[in-house]
Structure formats: structure tokens, C-alpha cells
Structure 1
Amino acid sequence: MTHGPHDARRALAAIGIALLSALFFTLTYVLNRAAANEGGHWLWTAALRYLITLPLLLPLMPWQGGIAPVWRAMRAHPLTWLKCSTIGFVVFYLLLSFAASSGPSWLVAGSFQFTVVAGMLCEPLLYRDARARVPKAALGVGVLIIAGVVLLQFGYAEGTLNRAAWIALACVLMSAVLYPIGNRLLLLHLERTGEHLNATQRVFGMTLASQPAWLVVAALAYANAGAPSMGQVWLAAGVALGAGIIATILFFQATGMVRDLPAALGAAEAMQAAELLFAIGLGALFLGEAWPRGVALWGGALVIAGIGLFAWLVSRPTQAPAHVVAPEEPHA
């Protein structure tokens, strides 16, 4: 069946919400870079965000469906929640935090934009219905985006990438794949079980499920670097509020709204490309970072062009999977 007016409005609303989430997600790159500039250990940067996020979420839960439905869902399928949170929160953010110490915020943000095609390219591994098909055009756009990412890295490294830069690039690309996979796996699990959790509840559940891992990471951070400075704690609190709560809830809301519309889901994920522009501006204004130039500038342009092309491709009229029932997504 074809998409109707209701689906089009839902897709446009999801894209708008995803674009707003990109603005708050940018705080991750800017504040993490600020912590790295002050000498904060990357393990603390990762652990503090999610350890602080959990208590910040608690006051919201009574107005967002409550904790009880989340707890029931987690008790019914604890291994699934552990798997999704480990992939989409723990390993994803450990890799991103490590990479934050390697270069300016716009460089990490630009490299992370591979996430907008990573979700689509991983669909054959996640789905067993019509959503498992990867359009050939998406593969071409993915190559374009990867080319832009490599140019960004080469431009920043002035033509050569040392071992540390290659490792950082690999970490960002892996994190860009893991984040949408963790989110999509949870959405797919809830679709199969018929459990209805809104965006805030899903973020709370994954944050709660990830706490044991973050306590281990915090212990490792303390053993390696001692206690974090108050400056790093405050920067992590800013990331927790802006990216861990506001941005993540908005992103989960946007993707949950169009979970049954593959094209709109890809378009919502593609709006994260705006993070590159936000990171360039905020990094230059508040961290004194240099504006990208030369090869790096062309790389950034390729990334933006690729994402724009991808958004155009996935927004074209398509056939919606007839056997997928669109669940109502409660507003977060």
C-alpha cells in the first residue's frame, strides 16, 4: 500500500524532531572536546554521562508513562535490554569518548555522520521482512559520505594519518554503526512483543540496563586517573542533560514515530548531518577551534552533500510494507 497524507505528516514531524535532536547531540562533541582539553580522562567522560543521566531522568518518569511498564518489560526480557544498551549506549559511547581526544569537535562530528547510512546498510542483518532490502542508491551515497569522512581526517592531519588518527577514525565509524543498531534492535524487540514504551521510557530503560557496565568503567577510570575534576563532572552533566536526555529522547521519539516507514526512518536519521554544521560553529565560537579549510573543507562539503542526497533518496514515494502494523507512538 502507498503512503497516505497521515504518513507524510508523520514523516515530516519526525524529520523536524530529528533535526532538533541534532542540535542537542552536538553538545556531545563540543563538551567532550572541552573535557579533553582540560585533561579529563576519556573513561570518566563516558561513564559520567550515563551515571548522571539516570538520576536526571527519574523526575521525568511520572509524567512520561512511569517506571513500572519499563521495569516489567526489562524483567520479561533482561538479556535483550542488556544487549541493546550494551551495543547502543555502552560500546558506542566508549568509542566516541576515546575519539574525542584526537581532534576538534567538528572532525569527530563529521566522521560520526556515517551513522545516517549505517542503519540502512545494516537492515539486512536486522529485519526479516520488506525492510531488509538495501537500495543500491544508498550504497553509492554511503561511499560518497565515507569519502568525505576520509577527506576530513586527511585535511586535519595535513595529508597524512598517523596510527592514532586511524584508530580514532575507526572508533568513530564503529560507534556510528552501533548507535542506530542498538536503537533499531530495541524497536524491533518491542514490535515483536507488542510492548508499548514511549521514547522517554525507552531511554530510561536502556540507561538503567547500562548502569552495571558504567560502574565498571568508572572503577577503571578511577584506577587509571583518580577521581574526576569538578570541571569534568559539570561538563559531563551538560552532556547528560543536553545529549543524554533531551537529544536522545527527541531522536528516539522521531525514529519511533516512523519505525514502520523505512524511507522516513532513514530520513529522520539523516537529519543528524546538521550536527557537523552545529559542531563547526560552536567549536569555533566557544573552544577556539579553527574552521575547516582546504581538503577538510571539501570533505565536510561531501558529507553534507551526501546526507542531503540520501535524504532526497529516502523521501521519495515508496511502497510501505503491507504487513507491518504501525504502532501508535506515545508523545515523549
Structure 2
Amino acid sequence: MKSPPRVALGAIALALLSALFFTSTYVLNRAAALDGGHWAWTAALRYVVTVPLMLPLMRGRWTTLWRAMRVHPRAWLLWSGIGFVLFYLCLSYAAASGPAWLVASTFQLTVVAGMLCAPLLYRDARARIPRAALVCGLLALAGVLTMQAAQAGGRLDRNAWIALGCVAVSAFAYPLGNRGLLLHLERAGIELDATQRVFGLSLASLPLWLPVIVFAQMRAGAPSLHQVWLAGGVALGAGIIATVLFFRATGMVRRDPVALAAAEAMQAAEILFATLIGAAWLGEAWPHGIAALGAGIVVLAIVLFSALVARSPRG
């Protein structure tokens, strides 16, 4: 079912804003790794911190969410396990194994991952992969890879290849968990807003984080205060603000496969935002040559996606 153009474009705008806040993940996780923080603590602390930080936002929302979780606990455990636990375990391990640019660029596989997962989830028209959206997603991915090509600096070592594989798993787990929960709520006839979904998945993931916490304690001892602060920054910027915005955007167009794919593909803008922030505030070089070409391709893909979802139903 095609969403109204205004709704679809609004979802794209929210998804772009979420990408801006998601950029904090790569830098702060890499900072924790370079400071000696264990990757398992980096992963678990984000969600341990997210739950109490979100409690003030749940005023008036808790009763409906608790009822939904109590009736279908397996669904919440399943999709939180995939979309939050598997996603962030792989991303945190990758941050300890490879450079931030490799993690950030490889995660952009998520711009097409959601579309490729559609046949596994849906039993209606949404199971079909929208070819126009797939072409736009591949174009965005090509732009990201072009921007990062100059930073590779030659062949990747063993740790970098491990990081690449972990991030690839993470890139598929995140949209799969989000789409899976949306589909479960749709079939159960339950309406929850983005804040409720993010808090519910974070809360449901806590039992799954317990063995990770035990493992981290046995391997590295208690986390440092600096690592806790870094995890708190990721929890606020990426775990709450960015994730709520992203869930809101995808929830708006959950029945429109093209607009949903477009909202997910806006994560490619993370590379643009990271580059612009680095140049404007950190004194890094502005992209030029191949990097500038890649940035232009990403912008073109975003424009094409916007044009695609803005078409009238008859068009």
C-alpha cells in the first residue's frame, strides 16, 4: 500500500535526522576500544543505560506496552535478540577489531538489507523486493564505498576482515529486528508508538545481556568510569534519540515497501554527516577527488529516493 507523498517524505526527513545522531556510535565505540574498554561491556552498557534514561519518556505509555509484552513475550525476546543484541554485539566487536571508517562504511549495507529480508518476513505484496528502490539503495551503497575507498590504504588485515564480517551481520540484524516487531504488532492488532517500541525492545533485551555482562566481568573486570560515560553518550544519542526517530520514520510507512526501503536507506547519510562534522568542527580535510564523487552519489541517491516516494499513486 503506497503511503501519501507527504507522509513518505516526512518519514525520509525523520530518517535523515536519525542518521545524524547515529553517527555518534562509531566514534564513541572506537574511542572506548582504543581506551582499553572491552567490547562486551561497550555492547551491554548501551542498553543497561538506555532503559533508565527512557523511563521519564514512558509516562502514560507503560500500561499499553506492558500488556503487549505480557501477551507475546516470545516475540519481544526474539526481535530484541536480533535487532538489538545480535546487532550491537557484532557492531561493538567490530569496533574493537577494525578502524571506525571500515565499521561505518560496511554498516551501510543496511540500506539494502531491509529490502532483501522482505521475502523472509512477509506473505503479502511486501514480500516482493521493489526494484526501483533496490537500484536507489545500491546507488547509495556505491557512493558510500566510493567515499571510503581512498581510506582503505591497501589490503585489509585479518582483524579488519573479521570486523567487516561482523558489521555485515549487524547491518542485516538491525532492520530485520525492526521490521519483525512491526509485523508482529500489525498481526496482533497492537498500536505502539516509536518510544514504546524502543523502550520495549530495550527492556526485553536485558535478560539476554546478562550472560554478556558475566562474560565481560570475567574477561576484563568492571568497566572504567570513562567507558560508562562513553556508553551513556551512545545510549542517549544513538540508542534513544536516533532509534526513536528511526522507528518513528519506519512505523509511518510500514505498509509501503518503497517508502520503508527509502527510510532505511537514509542511514547512508551517516557517512555524509560524519564527514561534514569532522571537516567543520575537527579540522579534518573536506572530501575531494574520489571522496567528493562518492558524496555526490550518496546525495543523488537520496534525491532519487525522495522523488520515488513523492510520486502520486497513479504515477
- State the TM-score, normalizing by the size of structure 2: 0.89
CA apart distance, 1:135: 2.6
CA apart distance, 1:275: 0.8
Instruction: Indicate which of 265, 279, 287 corresponds to 2:274.
Output: 279
CA apart distance, 1:117: 1.2
Q: Is the 8 A contact 2:33 2:39 kept in 1?
A: yes
CA apart distance, 1:73: 0.8
Instruction: Indicate which of 28, 31, 41 corresponds to 2:28.
Output: 31
Letter in 1 for 2:178: N
> How many aligned residue pairs are there?
315
Judge which range, 136-145 or 31-40, deviates more. Answer: 136-145
Q: Deviations over 1:187-243 (max 9, x none)?
A: 011111111111111111101110011121111111111111111100000111111
Judge which range, 255-264 or 45-54, deviates more. Answer: 255-264
Partner of 1:193: 188
Instruction: Indicate which of 234, 240, 245 corresponds to 2:240.
Output: 245
RMSD in angstroms over aligned alpha carbons? 2.7
CA apart distance, 1:112: 1.1
CA apart distance, 1:280: 2.8
- 1:128 pairs with 2:123: yes
Q: Distance in 2 between matches of 1:33 and 1:12?
A: 33
User: Cα distance 1:47–1:225, how it changes in 2: closer, same or farther (>3 A)?
Assistant: same
Q: Distance in 2 between matches of 1:277 and 1:141?
A: 17
Q: Distance in 2 between matches of 1:117 and 1:27?
A: 22
Q: Is the 8 A contact 2:94 2:166 kept in 1?
A: yes
Q: Alignment partner of 2:61: what SS? A: coil
5+ residue gaps in structure 2?
none
Q: Is the 8 A contact 2:50 2:236 kept in 1?
A: yes
Q: Deviations over 1:57-114 (max 9, x none)?
A: 111101xx42121111111111111000000000000011111124443432222111
Q: Distance in 1 between matches of 2:137 and 2:16?
A: 20
Q: Distance in 1 between matches of 2:304 and 2:137?
A: 10
Q: Is the 8 A contact 2:8 2:309 kept in 1?
A: no
Q: Is the 8 A contact 1:124 1:133 kept in 2?
A: yes
Judge which range, 143-152 or 220-229, deviates more. Answer: 143-152
User: Cα distance 1:127–1:77, how it changes in 2: closer, same or farther (>3 A)?
Assistant: same
User: Cα distance 1:86–1:143, how it changes in 2: closer, same or farther (>3 A)?
Assistant: same
Q: Deviations over 1:39-74 (max 9, x none)?
A: 111111100000000111111101xx4212111111
Partner of 1:20: 17
Judge which range, 94-103 or 170-179, deviates more. Answer: 94-103
User: Cα distance 1:298–1:2, how it changes in 2: closer, same or farther (>3 A)?
Assistant: closer
Q: Alignment partner of 1:114: what SS? A: helix
Letter in 2 for 1:23: L
User: Cα distance 1:255–1:49, how it changes in 2: closer, same or farther (>3 A)?
Assistant: same
Partner of 2:80: 85
Partner of 2:223: 228
Judge which range, 207-216 or 297-306, deviates more. Answer: 297-306
User: Cα distance 1:274–1:140, how it changes in 2: closer, same or farther (>3 A)?
Assistant: closer
Partner of 2:57: 60
Q: Deviations over 1:224-278 (max 9, x none)?
A: 1111111110000011111111111111111111112222212211221211122
Q: Distance in 1 between matches of 2:285 and 2:33?
A: 17
- 1:51 pairs with 2:48: yes
Query: Structure 1 vs Structure 2: percent identity of aligned residues?
Result: 65
Q: Is the 8 A contact 2:182 2:254 kept in 1?
A: yes
Partner of 2:105: 110
CA apart distance, 1:304: 5.5
Partner of 1:323: none
Judge which range, 106-115 or 135-144, deviates more. Answer: 135-144
